[in-house]
Structure 1
Amino acid sequence: MKILAVGAHLDDIEIACGGTLAKAIENGHQVKALIMSKSGYTDKEGQIQREDEVAVIEGTNALHALGISDIDVLDFPTKDIPFQSEVVNTIDVCMSKYNPDIIFTHHPFDTHQAHVGVSNATIAAARRKNTVFFYEPITPSGRSYVAFRPQLYIDIESTIEKKIASLREHKSEYSKFGAEDWITGVHSRCGFRGYEIGKKYAEAFEVLRIEMSFKQGLLL
């Protein structure tokens, strides 16, 4: 299978579905990461907290830690990726060229405006695609008034360490998100999702739509 993971920023897919993507690669599937921004950012006072160049280096290293080598990093504004025709068309072109069987993107009721824009743009671009999943928002961007509904679970016990290793590549994000508290929080979420299905670690996804194939099966 060919899998496309779309994220607003360099770190989004590692946090939310890194274990799943690593497991897909271990099982012989192709994975492409489409990142919509170079992901440098300023704080609310306008002070630079992360340079674009640093974000791209760290993010590329993080995706490599998962086994992903097919990476496109675009140059939309980090904080303001709107749901509009240019963004939709850019994702649509990528999908036409890559022709994925499965698409992962942000939950449309995330609380980060760029995540919401990318989610809605991906939904629009994927209008002719049959299998689309939303990955789970994680605090601080996940506290929406519309809850994430875990419907699809992937056992990631075999790849949890790759997921955590990929997060540690984001050295400039480490202190921003709470240092080891960040790592513990992500790790614990995977433990909780695993507990829900009787496994040690898992990632959960909400289903927009899914095509069942009795030849290939549903699970990665």
Structure 2
Amino acid sequence: MAESPGKPAHGGRLRMLAVGAHPDDIELGAGGLVAKAHEQGHRVAFLILTDEGAHGPQRRREAVRAAGALGVAPGDVHFAGFPDGRLRADGPSVGRVRQLVRRYGIRPDVVVTHTQADSHNDHAEAGRLAHAAFRDTAYLHFSIHISAESDRFSPRVFVRLTPERLRAKSRALACYGSQARRIGRLELAKYEEKLGQSARLGRAEGFEVAVQYGTPDALLRTVGLSDSAFHRFWQPVVADGTVTLLYGVPDRGDRESLVHRHAAQDELRRAFIDCWPPPYPLREQFADTDEALTVAAAGSVVTTCGPEDNRIAARLRASGRLVWAAETDGAGRGGLRDLRTGRLLRGGARRHLGCVARIENPFRRGGYAVVAGGATEAATRAGLGLLADPGRCPGLLDVFDREPAAHVAYAVDPVTGGLTLVEVRHGSDTPPL
């Protein structure tokens, strides 16, 4: 896994190191992720920390065969040789791991290792040891179904176990003949189905995310490994904190508009309840309160409605960071006004226009502001629907995977609900892509 210095690796290829306490841990908790990384051309190496005395040679042979079933070359499977059951994340152990990774030229962008939400001492110590041994990296933490503490495990990245990945994982686990009883002690399939439910994926593996300070690019690229559209969009926004929905009162006196807007907001709430493991990150507050600006300065925010109905939306527009503003014409269709050039993108009877933006929060460095709005109620509701399920519009995730800040104009057919992208801007770009 030796690479020339510099991060990240060229061409978008990630250098991943999977650190397991025992042979078979990586395959149990992250076999699908390793198989996906192999599919996408990322470079993966294994570091297995413990041996089991007289059984060590057999377990090593099994580990090399299992890694091969997931696409990892024998030369990329390394063993630290710590005693099983007595793993410690102390100074000598950290020094030994650092010596090993220097010897083999391992410079990972992403370290995949155990969660702390695990009742097995070696597993928890392996996670702490991996954190102590590496710098300038992102971490994905997996769980082992046999010893997982589900109430504390809070995954944010999810990898779908497609038929191909599931076959690769099954072949890898079948290599561990000496561990068949242990592996089968609890039903792995049910555990993976439970993980997948919170990501709308069916059967899946889940991973907690941690990023060392000063490596924001690592976070974005790590989240990009996820098959969950919801988490890929929202993880950079929420990070380890909260996000506050600051809503105004649209079209005061128009009961139908209020009903539609409330239904769309309910959809967003339900998406966070269903898809985000505790702690629940979504907060809510009216934008016209005295506390709204304080909230906006404290973390990430979501705004709905236009500047005439939402004080924070008005301040976001005044900041110069937004590209489009919705305009409604006399026929109720309107369009999107380019705030930088004055150009108007026009809607129509079957083309109602709206926009979704994820930008740097001008009130708080390091936070995000997510903005959704439309020239009609149908378009605004579609925008909030995109926030609840970003995967419903083809191409939308590709835009936000590419850069943290982006602006997307979309069209919705009010009859069929069909969505298409109209125009995309990245960051502070002026010309359309």
TM-score > 0.5 by shorter chain: yes
Partner of 2:70: 66
Match of 2:50 in 1: 37
Task: Note the alpha carbon deviations across 1:159-179, whole angstroms, 9 max, x for none.
Answer: 11111111111111112444x
Describe the superposition over 1:5-29 as per-residue Cα deviations: whole angstroms up to 9, x where unpaired: 0011100000000110111011100
1:55 to 56, 59, 78: 59
Name the CA distance, whole Å, in 1 between partners of 2:222 and 2:182. 40
Residue aligned with 2:115, SS = coil
Per the alignment, residue 198 of structure 1 pairs with: 200
Question: Rg: which structure is higher?
Answer: 2
What does residue 81 of structure 1 align with?
A: 87
- More displaced, 109-118 or 80-89? 109-118
Pairwise mapping of residues 50-129 of structure 1 onto structure 2 (< 5 A)?
51-69=55-73, 70-96=76-102, 97-126=105-134, 128-129=135-136
Is 1:16–2:35 an aligned residue pair? no
Q: Which residue of 1 aligns with 2:210?
A: 208
Tell whether the 8 Å contact from 2:138 to 2:222 is kept in structure 1 after alignment.
no
1:52/1:217 CA distance change after superposition, 3 Å: closer
Within 2, Cα distance between the matches of 1:95 and 1:102?
14
Residue 364 of structure 2: aligned partner: none
For residue 154 of structure 1, give the secondary structure of its aligned residue in structure 2: strand
**What's the offset of the Cα at 1:215?**
9.1
- Segments of 5+ residues of structure 2 without an aligned counterpart are 1-13, 226-433
Give me the whole-angstrom Cα distance separating, in 2, the residues matched to 1:104 and 1:199.
21
The runs of at least 4 consecutive aligned structure 1 residues that moved more than 6 Å come to none
Identity %: 27
TM-score normalised to structure 1 length: 0.83
Q: Quick check: 2:33–2:205 contact (8 Å CA) kept in 1?
A: yes
Could you say which structure has the higher strand fraction? 2
- Is the deviation greater in 75-84 or in 202-211? 202-211
Deviations, residues 146-199 of structure 1 (Å, cap 9, x unaligned): 611121112231411111111111111112444xx65xx222222222232222
Distance across 2 between alignment mates of 1:24 and 1:110:
25
Q: Structure 1 residues 204 and 56 mapped into 2: Cα distance closer, same or farther (>3 Å)?
A: same
Q: How many residues align?
A: 204
Q: 1:109 to 1:143 in 2, by over 3 A?
A: closer
Shift of the alpha carbon at 1:78? 1.0
What is the distance in 2 between the residues matched to 1:163 and 1:112? 22
Amino acid at match of 1:116: A
Letter in 2 for 1:19: G
Quick one: which amino acid aligns to residue 58 of structure 1? E
Structure 1 gap ranges (5+)? 41-49
Letter in 2 for 1:152: V
Give the residue type in structure 2 aligned to 1:15: L
Greater shift after overlay, 99-108 or 169-178? 169-178
Distance 2:113 2:219 in 1: 25
What TM-score, normalized to structure 2?
A: 0.44
The separation in 2 between residues aligned to 1:73 and 1:3, in whole angstroms, is 16
Partner of 1:45: none
